Amino acid sequence: MSLLPFDDRDGFIWFDGRMVPWRDAKIHVLAHGFHYASLVFEGERLYDGAIFKGQQHTERLFYSAQQMDFTIPYSVAEINAAKAEVIAANKLTNAYVRPFAWRGSEQMGVSGKLNKIHVAVAVWDWPSYFSPEARMAGLKVVTGKWRRPAPDSIPCHAKCAGVYMICTLNKHAAMEAGYDESLMLDHKGAITETTAANLMFVRGNEIHAPSTESFLNGITRQTVLPLAERRGFTIVERTILPEELRLFSEAFVTGTAAEVTPVASIDDVVFPGREVTKVLMQDYDDLVHGRLKLEDAA
């Protein structure tokens, strides 16, 4: 598969308050964010010219920065304006939006108090996180070796670079073994999510969602659960163990990039159903494209 490198593209990136040609948006190799993962980010989707829940994403970016002990040197309103500006500069109406903030290169070492905080916003065309074939067939998932750390050992509710390192390791291992995704367990062995999307299960008229004690409660997750309630489903948020997987008829993931995508199997457990997942896929698609109003899904 031919890939378009992310460092060699046409277009513009909003970088520290100004629009920069894509290829010129560079940082120093000794940036603290690069060496010590002091970087926070958001993943957002632009649908028909409007970012879905853009304000909520921006507010979470600032929350993540607070958890990482630094202050973004712009206001929420200024970041929202920057997102609009870079979208217009790149002439996109359906795209992926990535605002991020990181510590610079003034100080090298674990302490980063003296480092300047940089902010950038990039936007690019990205129709789906999974291939259309994988999305319709459902994802093949395998349990990963690496587990989510205990919630008192990492800022697990911040969307920050460091928490994704084990996701990369599990994702690579899964793909090398012929799977689409990896299941992340927590430090106690309970089910949490996949490497980059939240996970939910269907049993009868109930949607079972792992409790978010040790991982990010995604904005898409917070959107899909009310959509399911609107359809009359009972939401059960709880600790879910791997030995319970055979109790469920369907499974699906939710995320800004993944949207709503069915899961075909986890390890040797097959989920034959798609009925509920397809309904929620359509409801979510209607919502993000404005065919369903937010107040109707509240």
Q: What is the CATH number of the domain that holds 96?
A: 3.30.470.10
Beta bridge mates, 259: 255
- Domain for residue 167, yes or no? yes
The CATH code of the domain that includes 269 is 3.20.10.10
pLDDT at 126: 80
Instruction: Assign 3-state DSSP to the chain and report helix, strand, coil percentages, each to 5.
Output: 30, 25, 40
Which domain covers residue 86, as residue numbers? 12-124
pLDDT at 242: 98
pLDDT at 1: 42
Residues 22 and 151 both lie in one domain: no
Tokens read off for 145? 């070796």
Share of the chain above pLDDT 70, in %: 95
Tokens read off for 132? 């259309």
Contact 242, 185 (CB under 8 A): yes
Tell me the residue length of the chain. 298
Residues 145 and 260 both lie in one domain: yes
DSSP state of 11: S
Residues 150 and 116 both lie in one domain: no
- Domain for residue 158, yes or no? yes
pLDDT at 130: 65
H or E segment at 285?
Answer: helix 275-288
- What's the CA gap between 179 and 165, in Å, rounded? 19
Q: Is 159 a catalytic residue?
A: yes
Residues 202 and 98 both lie in one domain: no
pLDDT in tens, 86-138: 999 999 999 999 999 999 999 999 999 999 999 999 999 986 666 667 777 89
Per-residue pLDDT of the chain (298 residues; tens, 9 = 90+): 457 899 999 999 999 999 999 999 999 999 999 999 999 999 999 999 999 999 999 999 999 999 999 999 999 999 999 999 999 999 999 999 999 999 999 999 999 999 999 999 999 998 666 666 777 789 999 999 999 999 999 999 999 999 999 999 999 999 999 999 999 999 999 999 999 999 999 999 999 999 999 999 999 999 999 999 999 999 999 999 999 999 999 999 999 999 999 999 999 999 999 999 999 999 999 999 999 986 655 4
pLDDT at 295: 66
- What's the CA gap between 141 and 139, in Å, rounded? 6
Task: Extract the runs of DSSP E, i.e. beta strands, from the chain.
Answer: 12-15, 18-21, 39-41, 44-47, 50-51, 95-103, 117-124, 139-143, 181-185, 191-194, 198-203, 206-210, 234-238, 250-255, 259-266, 269-270
Contact 236, 204 (CB under 8 A): no
Domains in the chain: how many in total?
A: 2
Q: How high is the mean pLDDT of the chain? A: 95
Amino acid (one-letter) located at 34: F
Single residue among 124, 153, 185 that ends a domain in this structure = 124
Tokens read off for 98? 């990535």
pLDDT at 298: 47
pLDDT at 131: 65
Contact 178, 140 (CB under 8 A): yes
Residues 94 and 136 both lie in one domain: no
- What's the CA gap between 157 and 222, in Å, rounded? 14
Kindly tell me the burial class for residue 100, based on how many C-beta atoms sit within 10 Å of its own C-beta (0-12, 13-18, 19 or more): buried
DSSP string computed for 98-161: EEEEEE-SS--SS--TTSPEEEEEEEE----SS-HHHHHH-EEEEE-SS-PPPTTSS-TTS-BG
pTM over 0.85: yes
Catalytic residue chosen out of the listed positions 26, 159, 171, 278? 159
